[in-house]
A = this chain, B = another copy of it.
């Protein structure tokens, strides 16, 4: 299941007490949840990654970018509880040591291991605990530990996030699975997003690196706000070829099929992140259609999904469509009110330059559903995109949600 759904991938986990060691708190007995996992592939993978654009990068991100250059990755070691960011030279040594300790246990070279960290910034990794954790995790690698790995990477997440799918590519069954962490907050500028998608598809070397960004643009980048990224955000795709298909080449229909499968899994993980928003009770899906370009559509959809005031209106069941129009307006996407057509939960609320005199109680009912779909047709081209968010609750809502009513 999950990150071990594709053939040839195994996972192992360990409880190291990393957060307790990091913050100096004493670990609570019995509260030792898994906080480290190792993912291992039976053979080297074609691998691609997208990382944070923050100028301050975790040592783990820098090391991964280095290790990806040789493109023969065969394992991942991930810890939660400590981000290993803003930790200077010691941080780099620790990230390299994480890779080396894992490589030693798995009979690999250090540059065949990628490392990720998530948690508190500015504290050194508790390397003794991590060393024992790596030993333990590597000693119990199993194809059944995908779900446990998804739990081990959680920080403020309330739910583990996994997804998988199966495709038929040129007569061969190809599996894709994945896990992610991160919670869709009000303003997710530091909720580190970590996501790992594995597939047993065989591909020509370099294909995954070519696909990974467009997969991210259609999935994880649509649950965060443009330009805001943590020191540690990482999204990796690994393809180990265990399915035994003819290696997929770029530009072919098989490559398109594979990409669609990767996007499907990545989107499911993205929606899980949005749904797990802190205090969230509803998933908001924003579709922007007939935009001037796909890029415009992505920008506009993200602006609506991340608008605090749209979120509070949704939470309060307040049919304040003006907030949606406003978010479209400041998104930066091309926009003309004359051609804008807006629906909320299937009800038309805005068209031909003005609000529609709709039954407001119908809109309110739509906003009260656990999943709300907002569709904006911009009428300017054939760009399309989706973004996902969650509602906002409590104090902030008490002030905003009832604003029109």
Query: Which residues of A are at the interface with B, using a C-beta cutoff of 8 A?
Result: 23, 25, 53-57, 83, 85-88, 90, 120-123, 156, 185-187, 189-190, 227-231, 278-279, 306-309, 320-323, 325-330, 332, 335, 337, 350, 353-355, 393-396, 399-400, 403-405
Neighbouring B residues of A85 by C-beta, 8 Å: 322, 326
Neighbouring B residues of A396 by C-beta, 8 Å: 185-186, 278-279, 394, 396
| CB pair B399 A329 closer than 8 Å | no
| CB pair A122 B322 closer than 8 Å | yes
- Give the residue among A123, A190, A400 with the most B Cβ atoms within 10 A: A190
Additional 7 contacts, C-beta under 8 A, given A86-B350, A88-B354: A23-B405, A53-B330, A55-B328, A56-B337, A90-B354, A120-B404, A189-B327
CB distance from A241 to the nearest CB of B (A): 36
CB distance from A33 to the nearest CB of B (A): 16
A–B pairs, 29, beta carbons within 8 Å: A25-B405, A54-B329, A55-B328, A55-B329, A55-B330, A56-B328, A56-B329, A56-B335, A85-B322, A86-B350, A86-B354, A88-B354, A120-B322, A120-B404, A121-B320, A121-B322, A156-B400, A185-B308, A185-B396, A185-B400, A187-B307, A189-B326, A189-B327, A228-B330, A231-B322, A279-B395, A279-B399, A394-B395, A395-B395
CB distance from A21 to the nearest CB of B (A): 13
- Give the residue among A278, A323, A330, A337 with the most B Cβ atoms within 10 A: A330
| CB pair A354 B87 closer than 8 Å | yes
Neighbouring B residues of A308 by C-beta, 8 Å: 185-187, 189
A123 to B350, CA, bound (A): 12
A83 to B353, CA, bound (A): 16
Partner of A322, one of B86, B228, B322: B86
| CB pair A353 B394 closer than 8 Å | no
A23 to B404, CA, bound (A): 6
Neighbouring B residues of A399 by C-beta, 8 Å: 156, 278-279
Neighbouring B residues of A354 by C-beta, 8 Å: 86-88, 90, 122
A120 to B322, CA, bound (A): 8
Neighbouring B residues of A322 by C-beta, 8 Å: 83, 85-86, 120-122, 231
Give 10 nearest A-B pairs by CB, closest first. A121-B322, A56-B329, A394-B395, A187-B308, A122-B322, A54-B329, A88-B354, A122-B355, A279-B395, A55-B329
Neighbouring B residues of A400 by C-beta, 8 Å: 156, 185, 278
CB distance from A307 to the nearest CB of B (A): 6
Partner of A229, one of B87, B330, B394: B330
A122 to B363, CA, bound (A): 15
CB distance from A267 to the nearest CB of B (A): 24
| CB pair B404 A326 closer than 8 Å | no
A355 to B23, CA, bound (A): 14
Partner of A321, one of B25, B122, B189: B122
Partner of A54, one of B187, B307, B330: B330
Neighbouring B residues of A353 by C-beta, 8 Å: 88
**With known contacts A330-B227, A350-B86, A396-B279, A121–B325 Cβ distance under 8 A:** yes
Neighbouring B residues of A320 by C-beta, 8 Å: 120-121
| CB pair A330 B189 closer than 8 Å | yes
| CB pair A332 B227 closer than 8 Å | yes
A87 to B228, CA, bound (A): 33
For A121, the closest partner residue in chain B by CB is B322
CB distance from A355 to the nearest CB of B (A): 4
CB distance from A373 to the nearest CB of B (A): 20
Neighbouring B residues of A405 by C-beta, 8 Å: 23, 25
A122 to B309, CA, bound (A): 15
Neighbouring B residues of A328 by C-beta, 8 Å: 55-56
